[in-house]
Structure 1
Amino acid sequence: MTAISALRLIVPSVWIGLILGLSFIEAPLKFMAPGITVPLGLGIGRLMFWALAIGGFVLLLVLTASAVLRPRVPVGGWALIGCLWVLMLVQSFAIRPALSARSDIVIAGGDPGPSVLHYVYIATDVAILITLVLWIVITVRSSRTAPMQHR
């Protein structure tokens, strides 16, 4: 296995760990901690999700760069990279700003009313996770079928 092939497995694995740890474990648990109010939890969550987005974009840039290098990525790999870019852009520039606006209302003492935005954000996180797992599968399969001299 080449360093590039290893990078193509390590980067999505780290990203999966970040999403699982922060989005699905830390985010709901912080509201159970003693002394954490809803406004305080929302403020912490906003910072954490922006940090996760920055980390995700850095990892996506590294993954995209690794796809350009040899050994070449199969066509399906490029489709997955494209999906990741679309999901990250939608999450970062459409969903998260709308959630931030809602949290501003709550922090100011208001009630923004019901919304499905959290579920849409969770759905995009799940889609990113599925896409990363598919990327890992394609990477492993292509490295197993690649001729030895091209590895």
Structure 2
Amino acid sequence: MSTAAAVVTALTFVWLGMVFAISFIEAPLKFRAPGVTLPIGLGIGRLVFRALNAAEIIWAAGILVAVLVGSWLGLAEPIAAVVAIAALAIQVAVVRPALTKRSDAVLAGHEGPRSHAHLVYVGFEVVKVVALIWLGVAVLIGAT
């Protein structure tokens, strides 16, 4: 396995694990914990997802560099990497500001109509997970 492939594999599966752990386990469960109110849950969520997105940006940059400098047998690895990175970029640049606006309103005591931004964010999480699995498997298959 080349150095680029090893870097892509490691970063891909660390990134995938973090998304599973935070987005699909921690996020929904925190609201079920005793004493966690909506404002507390939103506050925790904002901190956790800000940290996750910062780490994701670092991992995405590392994957991008490794994909650009590596030699790949086909287009699967670069395409999967671009899909995962694009999903992250949309989440951070488009969806997260809408979530922040909604959570700001809730924290200020203005419930208002429910936002569909969470569902959009989860949709992009699913796209990202599929792309990361695709990327990791493609690199491992190509390295054999």
**Fold shared per TM-score above 0.5:** yes
Structure index of larger Rg:
1
- Does residue 32 of structure 1 match 2:32? yes
Cα contact 1:39–1:107 (8 A) shared by 2:
yes
**Is the contact made by 2:53 and 2:92 (CA closer than 8 Å) also made in structure 1?**
yes
In the alignment, the residues of structure 1 paired with residue 73 and residue 29 of structure 2 have an alpha-carbon distance, to the nearest angstrom, of: 38
| Structure 1 residues 73 and 108: alpha-carbon distance in aligned structure 2, compared to 1, 3 A threshold | farther
Distance 1:101 1:73, change over 3 A: farther
Match of 2:104 in 1: 104
| Aligned Cα root-mean-square deviation (Å) | 1.4
The Cα offsets for residues 95-141 of structure 1, whole Å up to 9 and x where unpaired, read as 11101110111111111312221111101001000000110121122
Contact kept in structure 1, 2:102 and 2:115, CA below 8 Å: no
How far off is 1:30 after superposition?
1.1
Matched, 1:85 2:85: yes
Runs of 4+ more than 4 Å apart: none
**% identical aligned pairs:** 33
Which 5+ residue runs of structure 1 have no aligned equivalent? 145-151
Change (3 A) 1:73 1:51: farther
Deviations 1:59-103 (A, max 9, x none): 001111111234436322222222122211110011111011101
Q: Which residue matches 1:149? A: none
Give the structure 1 partner of residue 95 of structure 2. 95
Mapped partners of 1:73, 1:31: distance in 2: 45
CA distance in 2, matches of 1:22, 1:79: 25
Query: Greater RCO between the two (CA within 8 Å, min separation 6)?
Result: 2
Aligned pairs, how many?
A: 144
Which residues of structure 2 form unaligned runs of 5+?
Answer: none
- In structure 2, what residue type is equivalent to 1:20? F
With structure 2 as the length reference, what TM-score do the two structures score? Answer: 0.92
Q: Distance in 2 between matches of 1:40 and 1:70?
A: 44
In structure 1, distance between residues paired with 2:89 and 2:4 = 25
TM-score normalised over the length of structure 1: 0.88
- Counterpart of 2:132 in structure 1 is 132
